[in-house]
């Protein structure tokens, strides 16, 4: 016995067409930059979209933020450093968490979206004193050691910082590790690779 249908009612046809239109609109909305980041780091598209959204608000290159997150937590929102108790995607230390009105225990249980809300607060003017992060060093050091955002690459961190991070002695050491998390074509001369486009920030 045949189970297929040869005739469909107009309401059914309209419903199918509407579903197709919304599906096509959703496909068009998939940002190429977001898709590239999701594919390169092997992360959920929604996570990559948060990176792009956050970077636009911060006036920086989304690849730079993605590289730092990859280095700090390998995209594990619950990641925790046994030595410093730093927690989350960008490894908030307890004192920083408190300054943002939360705790590392709360951060560890946050959704990715909520962590990105917190990241935007952390990078924002009220907390950091900055409105944009025009170089790789400014965004990388804001995560690792804010005082070093404008230091020379060969300047050494304090003994305490070096003890907590045995393989990182200078600003350049950290930047080298972070740069390795970028696609190969972006690694050389990283600060001149992507001068922030005003159109990108305002889009």
Pair 32, 40: CB distance under 8 Å: no
CA 118 – CA 126 distance, rounded (Å): 12
If you average pLDDT over every residue of the chain, what do you get? 86
3 by Cβ neighbours in 10 Å (0-12 / 13-18 / 19+) ranks as exposed
Mean pLDDT of 111-121: 97
Per-residue model confidence as pLDDT tens digits over 184-199: 988 865 654 444 443 3
- The answer to whether the Cα torsion of 92, 97, 103, 108 is positive or negative is negative
The structure's pTM equals 0.79
- The answer to whether the Cα torsion of 59, 64, 69, 71 is positive or negative is negative
CA 60 – CA 134 distance, rounded (Å): 6
130 or 181: which carries more pLDDT confidence?
181
Please give the CATH number for the structural domain made up of 10-202.
Answer: 1.10.530
Q: Which of 42, 43, 46, 20 is nearest to 31 (CA)?
A: 46
């Amino acid at each position: 016995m045949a189970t297929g249908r040869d005739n469909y009612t107009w309401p059914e046809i309209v419903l199918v067409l509407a579903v197709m239109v919304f599906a096509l609109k959703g496909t068009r909305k998939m940002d190429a930059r977001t898709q590239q980041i999701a594919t390169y780091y092997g992360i959920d598209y929604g996570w990559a979209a948060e990176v792009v959204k956050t970077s636009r608000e911060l006036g920086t290159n989304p690849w730079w933020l993605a590289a730092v997150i990859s280095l700090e937590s390998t995209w594990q929102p619950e990641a925790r450093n046994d030595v410093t108790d730093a927690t989350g995607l960008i490894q908030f230390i307890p004192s920083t968490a408190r300054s943002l009105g939360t705790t590392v225990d709360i951060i560890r249980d946050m959704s990715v979206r909520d962590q990105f809300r917190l990241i935007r607060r952390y990078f924002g003017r009220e907390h950091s004193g900055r409105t944009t992060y025009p170089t790789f060093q400014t965004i990388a050091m804001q995560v690792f050691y804010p005082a070093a955002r404008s230091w020379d690459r060969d300047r050494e961190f304090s003994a305490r910082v070096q003890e907590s991070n045995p393989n990182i002695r200078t600003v350049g050491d950290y930047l080298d590790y972070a740069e390795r998390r970028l696609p190969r074509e972006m690694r050389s001369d990283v600060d001149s690779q992507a001068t922030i486009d005003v159109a990108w920030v305002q889009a």
